[in-house]
Structure 1
Amino acid sequence: MKLHIFLLQAGIAHAALRFGCSTVSIQRLDPLVEPGNIPSAHVHQIVGGNAFNATMKGDIGEQGTCTTCVYTEDFSNYWTAAMYFRHENGSYKRVPQYPNAQLGYEGSDDSAIKGGMTIYYTNKDFNSNGDQYITAFPPGFRMTVGSPTVDNVNGSKPGLRYTCLQTILTRGYETPDFPKEPCPAGIMAIHHFPACWDGKNVDSPDHQSHMFSTVKGGFREAGPCPASHPVRMPQVAYETMWNTTAFKDMWPKDGSQPFVWSYSDSKGYGTHADYLFGWKGDSLQRALNDTCMFHGCGSPGMQGILKTQTVADMNACAVENTVEEDTEGWLEQLPGQGMPMRISA
């Protein structure tokens, strides 16, 4: 794709999207960083379209039959590592996710999203949807943010943060590493992706170089794009609510931080996330060109520029596990760290 195509289409975009997606799969697959590997190195929690598999190519928006996201035209996949609690006795248990109460559909019946994440596509910042043209991602686009190899604060990037939740509704101080004390309402992990594109490549060898980050974090407006990456795209961000409250009475006696990512990171600086674009047709661009804001773009029970589905339909969509291994209950080791597995045919 050539940059002049986008310049010819230039207009003003105003929309900002915020929506929930329930869990579509929890297993060791990573079609971006480890395409074709069954299994991948560590467990991921994935939301979005049910085309998710070990090797994903082409226009993902045309490959799935259902999606766990509220918008029925969004077959993208969004994923991060899974979080585990490490007991003093050396065993591990996966930390469950819970839905974002700010979305308004976190009840205890069919209105409750099953695990999952909150997804954002913003143009300016958390409070305004801006006044510049935003180009939607093209088919085949993918990117990652962060790196599991980062193990100190100097390597931490803006926008990759944690919040120790005081209640399910309030937000507070962000840290680049895991909170050091029990959090009353759990831990929120936050991932902000870059929004400046080179205008040519839908991917790059490291899945990051085709994008440039001017992210400042905290849903503040990102800085201007450089000449090398001149195309402004929507600011994608994830919020994952990890329900750590079940482990508050198991906090280690020595006061050490007991949570780890599934790749054995107990500091949290290596937090990272993956994005694989899969919106059908022009649905994302159509939304970005609208004047809607969050629920006004469409949500369960509310009409908007985008088509929506019920939470029950979101929860009903799933991917059958390719890697058959225990990821739940108390485990002697993290999956991938010497545990036996069974591979489906």
Structure 2
Amino acid sequence: MSAPQFTVTRNPAPASPQRRADVLADPGFGRYFTDHMVTVRWTEGTGWHDPKVEPYGPLTFDPSSMVLHYGQEIFEGLKAYRHPDGSIASFRPEANAARFAGSARRMAMAELPEDLFLESLSALLSVDSEWVPAAGGEDSLYLRPFMVATEVGLGVRPSAEYLYAVIASPAGPYFAGGVKPMDVWLETEYTRAALGGTGTAKCGGNYAASLLPQAVGAKHGCAQVAYLDAEERTWIDEMGSNNLFFVFRDADGRAELATPDLRGSVLPGITRDSLIAVAKDLGIDVVERRISGQEWLGGAANGVLTEVFGCGTAAVITPIGTVKHSGGEVTVGDGEPGPITLQLREALTAIQRGAAADPHGWMRTLVPAPASV
């Protein structure tokens, strides 16, 4: 499909302006959804067809739909921001499109063309533009593209039919009262992914596998879990929904920003990649290398490691104050967000909001600014 044309069916009972205003005043995250959604079908022998914007509502699946039995499912997450000129832009959606296609390849699913991915976002936002929060803050409209296998029948093989869809949910600032550190559980029994597995794909199974260790971490008062590699149980991979960064300082106080390298079991985060570029722009030394769990614990204990943070679409950057593990716990630095953490977060979110220059051309306009009156 070289030039996708979406048919639009308007929701006959959309949210009232007052209801929409009430939601946007306190959206939280993932609690409310806009009036419409996108659907596109893929059938073997036909390819992608029937691109639609239609009223948001339940999807119907046959009990033998293959996704329910063999788990062919992938998704993405990105945000749409209203910029000061009234346009609606997204941060590096081309990278999300490329990762979505990569996830599809790993899961033996149909690959969605990049232009169709991008057009699906524009099509939904054009209809639900009033759900995008006002410019000026970190509020956004979170976009969730996903794809599932829909062929009816049993048998372990790739599906011959898929459904691609996009839904949208208003999202408030992750840290409404200021950036706060979180406690993290360093998991030594369960692992997230192994080399040759699905760690580099954004598929639901990876997240389902993280729920049990997440519950273990929660019992210890931790909001997130950090995982070691599956082969040696030594090297830091990532958290359940975040990549990780570490700030080490030498005897002269010079900082090095380090992040675990992409060794085949770590999701290639778009925020991670962007922060590496922003840090270099700011003159910060950046290195991608293996970092052991012991280096994390020992560095925090002796003061060489001064900051740790996670990064992802939802919060952009989340400082880590304390890491807990089966043998105890250790505080990173003084337990508060560090200067490099805050500097990087401010620099990246300013680009996303349209409040700073975009030297890398990361922001893509999905809905143009309204014509001036």
TM above 0.5:
no
TM-score (norm 2): 0.26
TM-score (norm 1): 0.27
Q: Comparing both structures, which one devotes a greater share of its residues to strand?
A: 2
Q: Comparing both structures, which one devotes a greater share of its residues to helix?
A: 2
Give the structure with higher Rg (CA): 2
